[in-house]
């Protein structure tokens, strides 16, 4: 199987680019599934039902999120009724929506996607390691899924790496989101799980993590408290492509970078 994961969409221009490119990428790369982190797709903060519907129509099979999932309140009712839009699994019990979903494609292949949020330097959530273990006990490669994808939304690289090794041999892919910067450590771990600390963002990299660099610099210098706005330059699509064998474990992982100012991959 071959699965594409795209990192956090930041803003309107990026989401329009993703929507335009998804059908082309599916055909060009012969993809079985596409998973996209969409939590910043609505003006850089949150996600709306209309945007989710457009991403699904373009070919996304599952949408993941993170700490900005509730920035647009209209998403609360939508996420309660749309299982393909995930929020972090380890949010408090009773939170609307789900953190895990299984989808099946036309060929009968099954993908289980899990959305988690780390604990270090993030808003308070339930402990992430037990949540990950429970998800992998309940969903096993071969028995319940042909591909298991885990989006680890978090700040600390050490915590993401530890989660990757903790899941090694039990998941097809563990990939980080949230920092909006693609890391260069994509590899297949010893037990057969593909891993990358952060997939990066789909957005303008001539910026500060997708936001207008001038406004961001002013904030660091204490020269203003104006609300950050999305940078409007050329977009780079950033993510990873993972191939698996019959066991559901990874045989390869490749970075995907297209457009904008980053070197292509």
For the chain, domain boundaries: 2-258
pTM of whole model > 0.75? yes
Q: Report residue 13 as tokens.
A: 């221009």
On the question of pLDDT at 214 being above 80, the answer is: yes
- Kindly list the distances between the CA atom of residue 264 and the CA atoms of 4, 173, 194, 217, 255, in Å, as whole numbers in the listed order: 16, 22, 21, 27, 9
Tens of pLDDT, residue by residue over 47-100, are 999 999 999 999 999 999 999 999 999 999 999 999 999 999 999 999 999 999
Judged against a pLDDT cut of 80, whether residue 226 lies above it is answered with no
pLDDT digits (tens, 9 = 90+) for 167-195: 999 999 999 999 999 999 999 999 999 99
Query: Tokens standing for 89?
Result: 């699994």
CA distances from 109 to 5, 17, 19, 33 (A): 17, 27, 23, 9
pLDDT on residue 102: 98
Res 155 pLDDT > 90: yes
CA angle 63, 195, 209 (to 5 degrees): 60
Q: What is the mean pLDDT of residues 239-254?
A: 98
Is residue 180 flagged as an active site residue? no
Q: Residue 42's pLDDT is what?
A: 98
- Bridge partners (DSSP) of residue 141 are 145
Q: Is the per-residue pLDDT at 227 higher than 90? A: no
> What confidence score (pLDDT) does residue 245 get?
97
Q: How confident is the model at residue 200 (pLDDT cuts 50, 70, 90)?
A: very high
- Residue 89 has a CB neighbour count (10 Å cut-off) of 23
Q: Say how far apart CA 225 and CA 46 lie, in whole Å.
A: 20
Q: Right CATH number for 2-258 from 3.60.21.10, 3.10.450.40, 3.30.56.10, 3.40.50.150?
A: 3.60.21.10
Q: What is the pLDDT of residue 224?
A: 74
d(CA 146, CA 217): 45
* Mean pLDDT of all residues belonging to the chain: 97
Question: Tell me: the pLDDT tens digits for 105-153?
Answer: 999 999 999 999 999 999 999 999 999 999 999 999 999 999 999 999 9
% the chain with pLDDT above 70: 100
Least confident range of 51-60, 70-79, 214-223, 230-239: 214-223
One-letter-per-residue 3-state SS of the chain: CEEEEECEEEHHHHHHHHHHHHHHHHHHHCCCEEEEECCECCCCCCCCHHHHHHHHHHCCCEEECCCCCCCCCCHHHHHHHCCCEECCCCCCCCCCCECEEEEECCCCCEEEEEEEECCCCCCCCCCHHHHHHHHHHHCCECCCECEEEEEEECCCHHHHHHHHHHHCCCCCEEEEECCCCECCCCEECCCCCEEECCECEEECCCCECCECHHHHHHHHCCCCCCCCCECCCCCEEEEEEEEECCCCCEEEEEEEEECCCCCCC
Catalytic residue among 68, 153, 180, 186: 68
């Amino acid at each position: 199987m071959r699965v594409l994961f795209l990192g956090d969409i930041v803003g309107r221009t990026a989401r329009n680019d993703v929507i335009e490119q998804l059908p082309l990428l599916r055909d060009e790369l012969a993809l079985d599934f596409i998973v996209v982190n969409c939590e910043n797709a609505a003006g850089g903060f949150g996600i709306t039902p209309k945007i989710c519907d457009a991403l699904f129509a373009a070919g996304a099979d599952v949408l993941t999120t993170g700490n900005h999932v509730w920035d647009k309140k209209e998403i609360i009712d939508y996420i309660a009724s749309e299982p393909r839009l995930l929020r972090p699994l380890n949010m408090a019990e009773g939170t609307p929506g789900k953190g895990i979903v299984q989808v099946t494609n036309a060929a009968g292949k099954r993908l289980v996607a899990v959305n988690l949020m780390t604990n270090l330097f993030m808003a308070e959530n339930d402990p992430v390691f037990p949540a990950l273990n429970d998800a992998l006990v309940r969903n096993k490669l071969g028995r319940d899924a042909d591909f298991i994808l885990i989006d680890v939304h978090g700040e600390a690289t050490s915590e993401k790496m530890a989660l990757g090794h903790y899941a090694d041999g039990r998941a097809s892919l563990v990939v980080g989101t949230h920092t909006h910067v693609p890391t260069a450590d994509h590899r297949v771990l010893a037990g057969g799980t593909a891993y990358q600390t952060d997939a990066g963002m789909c957005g303008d990299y001539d910026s500060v993590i997708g936001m207008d660099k001038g406004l961001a610099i002013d904030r660091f210098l204490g020269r203003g408290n104006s609300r950050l706005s999305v940078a409007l330059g050329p977009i780079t699509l950033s993510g990873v492509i993972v191939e698996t064998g019959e066991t559901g474990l990874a045989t390869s992982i490749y970075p995907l970078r297209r457009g904008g100012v980053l070197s292509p991959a």
